[in-house]
Amino acid sequence: MNAFTLADAPLATPLTLAEVPEAHARHLSRLGLRPGAAFSVLRRSTGGGRIVSVAGSRVALGRALLRGVRVEAAQ
């Protein structure tokens, strides 16, 4: 299984969300970032965060969050 944290995830690659920090699970799920969701990382943002594309929309994630989010390369 090809798993890594969001901080190490490659750009512009189809990914599947595997695990999010429990404290932020609700907040993330509202924007479509639930375990099992298909998404991709578009680019790095100012301050070391990432901008991801999920279900047609764009979501900016802060740097503090990246290490806690586990992702897998989409099958």
Where does this chain bind other proteins (CB under 8 A)?
24, 26-32, 34, 42-49, 51, 53, 55-65
Q: Exposed/middle/buried for 52, CB within 10 Å: 0-12, 13-18, 19+?
A: buried
Evaluate whether 65 touches 19 at the Cβ level (below 8 Å).
no
Provide the residue type at 7 as one letter: A
In the bound complex, what is the minimum distance in angstroms from residue 4's beta carbon to other proteins?
19
Closer to other proteins at the Cβ: 66 or 73? Answer: 66
Closer to other proteins at the Cβ: 59 or 73? Answer: 59
In the bound complex, what is the minimum distance in angstroms from residue 60's beta carbon to other proteins?
4
Residue with tokens 């806690």: 68
